[in-house]
Amino acid sequence: MTREEIVAEARTWIGTPWKHQGRLKGRSCDCLGLIVGVLQKFEPDLRGFKDTRDYSHTPDVREAEKLLETYLAKIPREEAKPGDILRFYFDKDSLHLGFVTQKGMIHAYNLAGRKVTEHAIPPDWQCKIVRVYRIPGINDQ
């Protein structure tokens, strides 16, 4: 899997309506559902990652972090490249995920259209990026 393939697959989800715990391209997804859906295209056996739906609108951040770090590799923020995954904190109880793209990011968001969208990362979101993850086995060529 290459960075271009990951971003291309994430773009096929654009327009999918936002729905908490959704996992179905074209029908519904949340930010984790987008990540799971895209990764399943390349890594169909994600075990517990793909079936994780026991979270509320304000999930336990520690549990979410543990899940992400089981399947993904933490990298320094300044090393983020298209195809990597951004994790944002908006307040003490919320987290949000999206894919890095050449334009900025692709994410499923329950505000601003309530759908999967791609856009530049707003300046006021830059400081909310708290972690960047890389998909193990990604081909940088």
What CATH number is given to the structural domain containing 130? 3.90.1720.10
The pLDDT of residue 141: 59
Is 139 part of any domain?
Answer: no
Is 140 part of any domain?
Answer: no
**Interval 78-92: pLDDT, tens:** 999 999 999 998 776
Long-range contacts of 94-101 (CB under 8 A, 24+ apart): 94/58, 94/61, 95/59, 95/61, 95/64, 96/31, 97/31, 97/32, 97/34, 97/35, 98/31, 98/34, 99/6, 99/7, 99/10, 99/34, 99/35, 99/38, 100/132, 101/7, 101/10, 101/11
* Stated pTM of the model: 0.88
Is 141 part of any domain?
Answer: no
- Print the domain residue range for 80: 3-134
Is 83 part of any domain?
Answer: yes
Number of domains, the chain: 1
**Interval 34-66: pLDDT, tens:** 998 898 888 766 555 555 555 555 555 677 777
Is 106 part of any domain?
Answer: yes
Is 85 part of any domain?
Answer: yes
